[in-house]
Structure 1
Amino acid sequence: MKAIIFDFDGTLADTLPVCFYGFRKAFDHYDKRALTDEEIIGMFGPTEADIIRKNLQHKDKEEAVELYFDVYKHKHEELVPKNNEIAALLEELKQKGFKLGMVTGKARRSLEISLQKLDMQGIFDITITGDDVELAKPDPEGLNKALQTLEVSPNQAMFIGDSNADIQAGSDAGVMTVGVHWLDHVQTKEFSVQPDEHFESVETFKQWVQKWY
């Protein structure tokens, strides 16, 4: 095992609350439409900007996109706690020589905000966002790009995520799949696509991954 690749929202950071807040602000302001968490998750796949462009009925779609990112930036510290356990895990994996990657459906713009706010800049050898692919997860395009950039074969990598789309993408890319439910807010509470491994705490994952140290 040479590379460990992560999803971001709901996996490395509890960012779903700030995502939900931003989408609600945008859709409420422009469409006078109140969205539930489930309705928002049902839109997931494209980047946040494309979710708004696709689903907003109001003509001022780009203004709504800007409102979302403004809210995301200014409410981030209030709604997204820093997770010291995950920070320590990433540092340990890096020190042990693993190549670290990320494949997320987020826009590059919101990912950079989160990495800066959570002091995660410079940790990952490669980050693939929704802006970098033609096809969103569950398509394996992003993972295939990460594997190519990291110069590892699928049997030398694992993909860790909290959603069915993550597990399906990892399976189709031929990597080991790890489903995690260790944060308060996740996209998929029950996996319909079964991962190779499943963990509900960072500590149990850390103990398991030590077999490759």
Structure 2
Amino acid sequence: MPIDAVLFDFDGTLADTLPLSFEAFNTVFKTYDNRDVTNEELIAMFGPTEEEIIANHFRNEEFILQAIMDYYEIYKQGHFDTIEKDQAIIDLLEHLKGKGIKIGVITGKSRRAFQISSEALNLISYFDVVITGDDVVKPKPDPEGIYKALEILGVNKSKTVFIGDSNADIVAGKSAGLRTYGVQWLSTFQSSVFDIPPDAIFRSVSEFLDIMKEEG
């Protein structure tokens, strides 16, 4: 069946930003809450926005606002120091745009964090709709964000696919009734094993691009 729209998760799916996010969280938890948190512990916190993660999990509440400010500063600076544009991702987005396929992002990131990354990586111009953690009441694995994107784009779920790297992504996509793919194509992704089987798992961008070319 022809595909009218592709909806993506962002961190670990379109942008290799998870290591930087881990670094920023680790720094503020250590500095202001005097504790070390593992990447696995952080992944378990994911879903809400960065501000909510810090506010919900800090023990030293008096430092929450400063920690949030520092998080964003570390996160923003890291895009200049460590993250490079991924040409394979760019090629995929270019192909989809060239075929007239609408592109959306459903992310738990705050609008502020998404803007930092999407602008630094020159990705923002590709997206027809972006639903961030600030735009929903219930983050993934709830499908609220997917439903919002479908409504804004005016596309049918039977002609839309959802792609993500986490269990929450797969549950959200399946709950919304979309063909849902898991990806493990960047250096760092959230789930190495999916609790609910996705329709396929792609370990390289080119694998998915080949599918898009076939179906297009």
TM-score w.r.t. the length of structure 2 is: 0.97
Partner of 2:86: 83
Partner of 1:32: 34
Partner of 1:138: 141
Query: % of aligned pairs identical?
Result: 47
Partner of 1:159: 162
Q: Which 4+ runs in 1 deviate beyond 4 A? A: none
Partner of 1:92: 95
1:73 and 2:90 equivalent? no
1:61 pairs, out of 51, 61, 64, with: 64
2:46 pairs, out of 28, 44, 55, with: 44
CA distance in 2, matches of 1:24, 1:76: 17
Partner of 1:188: 191
Where do 1:103-142 residues align within 5 Å? 103-142=106-145
CA distance in 1, matches of 2:81, 2:20: 9
Q: Can you list the C-alpha shifts for 1:187-209, whole angstroms capped at 9, x where unaligned?
A: 10111111012111111111111
2:7 partner amino acid? I
2:14 partner amino acid? L
Stretches of structure 1 lacking an aligned partner (at least 5 in a row): none
2:153 partner amino acid? L
Q: Can you list the C-alpha shifts for 1:139-165, whole angstroms capped at 9, x where unaligned?
A: 000000000000011101000000110
Task: Assess if the C-alpha contact under 8 Å between 1:17 and 1:80 holds in 2.
Answer: no
Q: Can you list the C-alpha shifts for 1:119-153, whole angstroms capped at 9, x where unaligned?
A: 11211000000000000100000000000000011
Partner of 2:172: 169
Kindly state the Cα deviation for residue 77 of structure 1 after the two structures are TM-superposed.
2.6
CA distance in 2, matches of 1:77, 1:5: 27
Task: Assess if the C-alpha contact under 8 Å between 1:53 and 1:61 holds in 2.
Answer: yes
CA distance in 2, matches of 1:118, 1:21: 19
Structure 2 residue matching 1:179: 3-state secondary structure:
strand
Q: Can you list the C-alpha shifts for 1:71-107, whole angstroms capped at 9, x where unaligned?
A: 1001123232211110111011101110000000000
